[in-house]
Amino acid sequence: MTVAKRIDGKAKAAELAESITRETAALLDEHGIKPGLAVVIVGEDPASQVYVRNKKRTAETCGFHSVQHTLAADTAQADVLRLIDELNNNDAIHGILVQLPLPGHLDEQAVTQAVTPSKDVDGFHFINIGKLTAGRTADAFVPCTPAGCMLMIADEIGGDLSGKNAVVIGRSNIVGKPMASLLLQANATVTVTHSRTRDLAQVVAGADIVVAAVGRPDMVKADWVKPGAIVIDVGINRVEKTVDGETKMGLTGDVDYDDVCTVAGAVTPVPGGVGPMTISMLMANTLRSARLAAGLEA
């Protein structure tokens, strides 16, 4: 029985964070610049609180100037936009991240588009999305999760994906669509699938690279996967798991990891795969923003 390689996102992210920490120290030493990251969180969503804590801790570890603005769940949209405007005009801040999801009374698009493109380290602004789609990424910010996925794919099979078939499961603006753009830039032949795709398993089975980002626990099974394929699992689903007779809430991806490991060449686990890479790529984007703001090479 084939046992796929486990792609260790945690180790890769730690390696990346070490490099960012070194470059941050050099930037401060040589140019007197410390990258600044501001995180805005509205409300008390428990999962968001965990993500924000992790981002703040990583930013501080990397040597960044790290600021967190925690707003009440009922904060008016005008007040959120006012804060973003202040951060846009603060030279000590190079990256602004608005933690999603936002409370229902806030217009998510209006809030994310209020962040100036040069500080949009999440890569959600339409200008950054347009540059990515056009392949003009020299001064653009790429969404952190797809960027991290591409680094893991490159580690396994190289940066030039000429001749490779890639299937992206999911068409979200945060993962699916930017992932497709990055794979195209790397010369892969790309198919984007979604809930309306016919014979989804058959489409996926032709792929050398599978990126699952659909939010359905354990959906991708071994019989969906081409032998030797690289499988990147972006899904994070909270499910009940029974361990030693005790039922607890746990995390699982969109890929049935144990099943797919019997046929794939390499698979990312959940947790410990894509998640840590997302946070490290956020730090990489913030460092890049600080360098670009100072007129230095990214």
CB 217 within 8 A of CB 233: no
Domains defined for the chain, CATH in brackets: 31-116 (3.40.50.10860), 144-276 (3.40.50.720)
Helix (H, G, I), strand (E, B) or coil at 247: strand
The per-residue DSSP string of 51-112 comes to HHHHHHHHHHHTT-EEEEEEE-TT--HHHHHHHHHHHHT-TT--EEEEPSSPPTTS-HHHHH
Cα 193 from Cα 186, distance rounded (Å): 19
Q: In what order do the strands lie in the sheet with 5-6?
A: 5-6, 266-267, 230-233, 209-212, 165-169, 189-193
The phi and psi torsions of 228 (rounded to 5 degrees) equal 85, 0
| Most distant CA pair in the chain, distance | 59
Q: What pLDDT is stored for residue 244 in this prediction?
A: 78
Which are the catalytic amino acids? Answer: 55, 99, 122
Q: What pLDDT is stored for residue 160 in this prediction?
A: 97
CB 170 within 8 A of CB 194: yes
pLDDT single digits (tens) 255-291: 999 999 999 999 999 999 999 999 999 999 999 999 9
The phi and psi torsions of 133 (rounded to 5 degrees) equal -60, -35
pLDDT single digits (tens) 22-35: 999 999 999 999 99
The chain-wide mean pLDDT, for the chain, equals 95
Q: What pLDDT is stored for residue 2 in this prediction?
A: 67
pLDDT single digits (tens) 171-206: 999 999 999 999 999 999 999 999 899 999 999 999
